Every structure is written in C-alpha cells, then in structure tokens.
Structure 1
Amino acid sequence: MPTTKPNVYAGIDTHAKTHHVAVIDELGRHLDDHEFPTTAQGLTAIYAFLVSFGTLIRVGIEGTASYGAGVTALLRSYDITVREVIRPNRQARRNGKSDPIDAYAAAKTVAADDTLPIPKLLNGPIDTIRVLLKTRHSAVKARTTAIRQIRSFLVTAPYRVREAYEHESARQLITGILKATPRHDDVFLSTLQLLARRHETLATEEADIEATLAPMITTIAPALIAMKGAKTVTAAQLLITLGENAERIHSKAAFAALCGVSPIPASSGKTNRMRLNRGGDRQANRALHTIALNRMSNDGRTRSYVAKRVGEGKTKREIIRCLKRYIANEVYRHVTRPQEVPAIDDLRPLRQSKKITLQTIAEEFGVWPMKVSTIERGKSRDDEFASRYRKFLLNAA
C-alpha cells in the first residue's frame, strides 16, 4: 500500500554566503537541518532538500528582502508558500543563538501562524523603480550637504567673499560662485566652485532619474501617476510600498495600516479614544502627506473639504490625517482595480488647429494658463476640466 507523505514545515536562516535550513513535522519535531551555499547550485539543493521530507506546507524565511531574496524567489517559482519571519529580539533568545536554532525557530513560527506576511517580490520593474528612487534620494542628500557646506564656509570666509554672496538664494549663490573667476592662489573660492559644480551635477542626476522613472510608472500604474496631487517621486514611493505583488495586501485598511495612516485604539478604563499610528512605512506616509498638501493648495474640491472641516472645529493636523487616509484608499484602488485614464493628447493639437492661445482658454475657465498647459502635457490630471475643455474646443469656431 502506498504510504501518505507527511506534512512538513521549514525555516531558513539567511546570510550573505550561506543559508541554514531546518525542517519539522506537524508536531514540531525536528527532522533535519543543513547549511547550503548561496550559489545557484546551493539554492537548487535547498529545494531538493525541502521536498524530500514530505508535503511541504509552508516555509518561513528571515530576511526575504535582503539575503533571503534569492531563495524566496526560487521557492515561489515552484509554487511553494513562503512567509516572512521576523528575527526574534535578543530577549527572546533564552536558548542561545546559532544558525540551526534560528532556522528551527523560523520553522516553528511559520507552522504555528498562517497569517505571517507574504514577502514582496523582487527583481521586477518595481524593484528597478526602488533602486532608482534610492539613488535619487542619495543624490538629494548629497546636494543638500553641498549647499550647506558652502553656506557654512561662507560664515568664516574672507570679508570680500562673504560680502559678495551675502543674502543670496541657493540658486543665485550657486550661479554666482560658478561665474566667479578666482585668482590662481585663491584656494578658498576654488573650493567653493568645486562644491557648486558638485551641486549642479547632482541636480542633473536627480532630473535624469525622474525622467527615467516617469514612463516606467506610467506603464505600470497610469491611474496612480495621473491621480490628483501625485507626482513622479510620490507615485514611485507608493508603488514600492505596495510591491510587485500588491495582492499580498488584502484590503485598503491593511494598506492604510502599512502607510501609518490608520487610527489605533488607545482606550483604557473610562477613556475611549484613538491615537495616531506612528508605525508603518514612513516614506509612504511622507508621500501621502505630500499629496495631501498638494491637493490642499491646488485642488478645489479639497479646499472646499478643508473649509468644511475647519468650520466643524477640526485642526489642520486632524484634517491632513483624514485626507491621508482618503488618499491611501484611493491609491490602493488605483493599483489593485485600476480604471482607464482618459486620453488628453488630442487637446493641444485641437487648440492649436483652431489658433486659440493658452491665455484665452485660461480666461474662459477662470484658471491660470499653467494649469491648462500641464493638463495638455499630461503633467497633471483633472478629468472634469479636460472634458469641459474638449467640449469647448469642439464647439469653437
């Protein structure tokens, strides 16, 4: 008679050069553990080792977004259920620490809890966006450091240099320093020019990266980047937070919690209240905050909402919290259930064919010419305005 294969669980403790794998049965009994190199052959051997014990139910892996990314991708390619196991804190390691102990602990954790988080998929287009955005962040930091150094050096600079660039804006300061012609022995001014050139080089890097990101985001999530208030950088960050496999986030409430915009109960005794969630992905929270501020400045509906909530006695901080939760819900909908983005590439040719200027359109609709231009170029989105604008152009003589 054929024997039924037992159900087993596995845990993997990941490192840069080696992974330690442990397997347990349904009762938590240790079956075997082994160390494998993190080479292509080693990862294949891990899969063969895991399936040799029976029916593999789940695998818990530590560091799925770092050292464990390769083995996570391999196991998922074989349709094996993988869950992310958070490394235990030091206080919980009463039995000591070693690679086998950590691997068995991961196996026991994943066997006991089927609600552990699903790892993000890496090495896809969104992971490329993540790499580009991190590179841009480092360029922004370095550029900020360069301008701060220039201003700091000017505090103790020779009087003639300090007087020449006093009260200059950042743009004027950089331009002025680059235009200066230092004497051959003026090392101080030459150093300032070195920092100013670094500042300009980094600014060019930022612009180049944004130019690369924009079409990538438009291809992956056109509804997201077309959302009111969203720009290239904020849309990129929100895509990174959602990940390649956005289905791992099962609801808009879960995404709000991931972004730190969900209220948390803070009640005790007779006190019944909620408090702000200070957890989650802080970069995603910052992106939602930026979109909220953009809408408060440029979107009529949002300004009306703000005025209404102010009349109800809400503070600006409370109103922004409400807006961030609403925007998080909108982002989740745009990525998981995207709607078709209406085309606007016909507006500018149609206006030009009728020889109508931007100023004329702006006066007709009571907006700034820049708004009309950004909508024509797809830099911002206002479907209602675009529809009325198209209707006006079609009816124009």
Structure 2
Amino acid sequence: MTIIGIDPHKSSLTAVALTADGSVTATRRFAVTKGTGPAVVAWASQFNQALFAVEGAKGLGRGISQYLISQGHEVIDVPSTLSMKARVLHTGGGRKTDAADARAVGWAAQHHQGLQRVAVEDHAELLGLLTHQRDALKGERTRALNRLHDLLRDLIPGGVPRGLNLTKAKAALRTVRPATAIARCRRDLARDLIGEVARLEKLMDDYEQKIAEELQATGTSLMKLPGISTILAGKILGEVGDVRQFHSAGHFASYTGAAPLDTSSGDNQRQRLNPGGNRQLNSVLHVMAVCQISHAGLGREYYLKKIQEGKTPREARRALKRRLSNVIYRTMLKDLTAGKPVLS
C-alpha cells in the first residue's frame, strides 16, 4: 500500500507518496484552486491502493479531505503536533519544508494506529458551526458591553455597577443629561452600542433556536442530564461527532482533558492535570460540574464525598468532571443503541 501524505496550506498543498518502508517515491506541489481535488486524484492514480493522510483534516485540510472521501478514497486525519514530532524524529533536527512536512504526515499515518478516519461531514458539523457562531456572537456582545461600560463610567458620576446588561444600560443612559459636546458624543456612542448589543442578542437567540431545532432532530437525551443546556448539548455533539470513535470511557475522558496524566517516575507514583484535550468539551464539563455542585443530587454527593476524603475543592471538582465525562460518554452510546437518529 502507498501512503500519500498531504501538507495543506491556504494557497497550496504538497503531497508525498511513501512506500511501505517509508521511502519517498514521488512528490508534487499543487496550487489550491477549483481543480485541486481532481488533480490530486489523477496524480495519485499511478499508485496502487493509495491511502491518504492529511494534516489537519478538520482545518486547512478540510477541503481536500472531503473531496477525496467523495471520490471513494480513505483519508486519515493526522494532528499537526504528531506530524511535527515525526518530522523532528526522522530528520534529527529542525529542518522544515512543505515536502518534509508531507513526509512526516505519511510517516505518522504509517506508524500510529490510533489515528481517526475522516468521515463525510454530517449533522455534527452543522451543530459545530452553529455553536461556534453563537460563541463568536457572545464574544462580540461582551466586547460591546465592555466598551459601553467605559462610556457610561465617563458619563455618570461613579459609573455603573458590574454585571452590565442591556436593560441596565438603557436605564442608566436615560439618566444622562450631557452638558458639553464631548458628553453628547459619548452619549450618542453609548446609544449606538446599546443598539449593537440588542442586535447581537437577537442573533444569539436566533442561533439558539436553530440549535434547539437541530438537537430535536438528533433525538439526543443529553439535555436530560443536570447542568446540560441546549447550547452545551449542541457543543458536545458538534465537537464529538460519532462517539463510537472512542473505544472506551477512558479514551473519551482523555480527549476531553478530564483524565489526569500519569507522571510517575521510579518509585514516585504521581498524576497531574491534563492541560490538553478538547478545551470546548472541558469547558462544558466544568459548567456541568459547577451546576451540579450547586444543587442537590448525585453530583453534589460525589463532590462532598471527595471533600471528606481530604481533597481540596478544586481537586474534588476535577474528580467530578472525570465522572461526568463517563456519564456523557455512556449517554451518547445509549442513544445510539436505542436506535435514536443521532447525527444521522
């Protein structure tokens, strides 16, 4: 079998064909245009049983990966961090070119058995797009409120309290009586920002409604879990996709960053916090844990049990996040086995 490693960029991609022993048989650079996909397939047709390995198949490599799948080819997603380590290992230094990166992608695909196969974009991708867009709008609203807070601080003696929202901003602006041209300018700017915040909140509500409609179509039962809202459920499904790609609850917890890392050495048996993993899912687990700790239930009981065992509140919360990761994993698997059309 020939492994074709692909290093994608915005305006070009480089493909390298590797034999079973890792030797390079051909290298080709393609400009990214409408005809890139057919050109790559035509070039790869000279090799028997070609298997494509693309760096960042959910990022810059998304376009070529989805095209190759549509043509019936198998594609492996190689994380950029893994290909970088493979390149350094094989070259013995920091030498870096597009061809070297493509070779490293192919080498990683040859020797790493846990890499994911790229699938056709489905309902998970749609939920991911919607939740990411809503998060972006939320960030814009926060920045607009911060600018509005600065203006009101200069317009109103003593400013306004923290936790500014649209209703409080409108009420505060109604009390302003500008006496100078500069103060009137600040008032007008504040009025425009209030309109911007109102527009952003309307868009956020619209996207939340779209996410709710898509979730209803999936049949997921994630929202029955305490602490999981419509937005968080959409984020979980959008980030995870097909949960069957994780062979165990531990594998899933490692992906979410909820599983601690083993840092034992010699007789010292230690574990430390995992700073990696999917930060979006880790954030979901954090919100879910904080919510369950604040309300009576199994989550709070588990948290208090860890406190009684001598753990600090932070350590107990991390232990709860690890347990909740298992709950989410089992819930998603149960939805599949129950015949619900999740991500179909």
TM over 0.5: yes
Q: Which runs of 5+ in 2 are unaligned?
A: none
Give the one of 246, 251, 257 matched to 1:249: 246
After superposition, give the CA deviation of every residue in 1:214-268 in whole Å (9 maximum; x if it has no partner): 121232252122222210121122212212x333222211110011110211223
SS of residue paired to 1:162? coil
Higher Cα radius of gyration: 1
Q: Deviations over 1:303-344 (max 9, x none)?
A: 3333333333333222211221121112112223316599xx
Structure 1 counterpart of 2:261: 264
1:89 offset after TM fit, Å? Answer: 6.4
For residues 157-191 of structure 1, the C-alpha deviation after alignment (integer angstroms, 9 at most, x for no partner) is 3xxx336x644852453121454686795222121
User: What does residue 42 of structure 1 align with?
Assistant: 36
> Which position in structure 1 is the counterpart of 2:317?
320
Q: Name the SS for the 1:271 alignment partner.
A: coil
The one of 200, 204, 208 aligned to 1:210: 208
* TM superposition score normalised by structure 2: 0.84
Describe the shift of the 1:182–1:142 C-alpha distance in structure 2 as closer, same or farther (beyond 3 A). Answer: farther
1:88 matched to 2:88? The reply is no
Task: Name the residue aligned to 1:311.
Answer: 308
1:1-397 aligned at under 5 Å gives the runs 7-56=1-50, 58-77=51-70, 78-86=72-80, 87-88=83-84, 92=88, 94=93, 96-119=95-118, 121=119, 123-157=121-155, 161-162=156-157, 166-167=160-161, 170-171=164-165, 172-177=167-172, 179=174, 186-243=184-241, 245-338=242-335
Please give the per-residue CA displacement for 1:266-306, whole angstroms capped at 9, x wherever unaligned. 22333222222121111211101111111222342323333
Identity of aligned residues (%): 24
Task: Decide whether aligned partners of structure 1 residues 102 and 310 sit closer, same or farther in structure 2, where only a CA change above 3 A counts.
Answer: closer
Task: Measure the CA separation in 2 of the matches of 1:277 and 1:88.
Answer: 20
- After superposition, the Cα gap between the structure-2 partners of 1:277 and 1:181, relative to the gap in structure 1 and judged at 3 Å, is closer
Shift of 1:134: 1.8
Larger relative contact order, structure 1 or 2 (CA cutoff 8 Å, min sep 6): 2
SS of alignment partner, residue 13 of structure 1: strand
- Secondary structure in 2 matching 1:222: coil
When the two chains are superposed, the root-mean-square deviation of aligned CA atoms in Å is 2.9
Which amino acid in 2 is paired with 1:174? A
Cα distance between partner residues in 2 of 1:168 and 1:104: 54
Aligned counterparts of 2:15 and 2:162: Cα–Cα separation in 1: 61
User: Runs of 5+ in structure 1 lacking a partner?
Assistant: 1-6, 343-397
How many angstroms does 1:196 deviate by? 1.7
Q: Aligned pairs, how many?
A: 329
Is the 1:85–1:109 Cα contact (8 Å) retained in structure 2?
no
Letter in 2 for 1:38: V
TM-score by length of 1: 0.74
1:22 is paired with a residue whose SS is strand
Query: Structure 2 vs 1, CA of residues 81 and 315 (structure 1 numbering), >3 Å: closer, same or farther?
Result: same
How far does residue 90 in structure 1 lie from its aligned partner after superposition?
11
Letter in 1 for 2:134: R
Distance 2:221 2:321 in 1: 18
Against the structure 1 CA distance between its residues 304 and 96, is the aligned structure 2 distance closer, same or farther, given a 3 Å change threshold? closer
Confirm or deny: 8 A CA contact 1:37 1:43 kept in the other structure. no
> In the alignment, residue 154 of structure 2 is paired with which amino acid?
T
